Amino acid sequence: MKVSEVMTKDIETVRPDQQARDAARFMLQADAGSIPVTDGDRLVGMITDRDIAVRGVALGYGPETLVSELMTSGVVSAHADEPVEEAARKMGEAQVRRLPVIDDQERLVGIVSLGDLARETDEDTAGQALEGVSAPGSQHQQ
Tally of domains within the chain: 1
| Residue 101 included in any domain | yes
What is the rounded CA–CA span in Å between residue 59 and residue 4? 38
What is the rounded CA–CA span in Å between residue 92 and residue 63? 31
Rg (CA), the chain: 15
Q: Which range of residues forms the domain containing residue 93?
A: 3-134
| Residue 82 included in any domain | yes
Q: Each residue of 88-119: pLDDT tens digit?
A: 889 888 888 889 999 998 899 999 988 888 77
φ/ψ of 113, rounded to 5, equals: -115, 165
Residue ranges of the alpha helices (H) in the chain?
20-30, 49-50, 57-58, 67-70, 84-94, 114-120, 123-134
| Residue 119 included in any domain | yes
| Residue 65 included in any domain | yes
What is the rounded CA–CA span in Å between residue 16 and residue 98? 19
Average pLDDT value for the chain: 85
CATH number of the CATH domain containing 21? 3.10.580.10
Q: Each residue of 4-22: pLDDT tens digit?
A: 999 999 889 999 999 999 9
Q: Each residue of 47-71: pLDDT tens digit?
A: 999 999 988 988 899 999 999 999 9
pLDDT band at 86 (very low <50, low <70, confident <90, very high): very high
| Residue 97 included in any domain | yes
| Residue 140 included in any domain | no
| Residue 114 included in any domain | yes
Which of 7, 33, 11, 41 minimizes the C-alpha distance to 121? 7
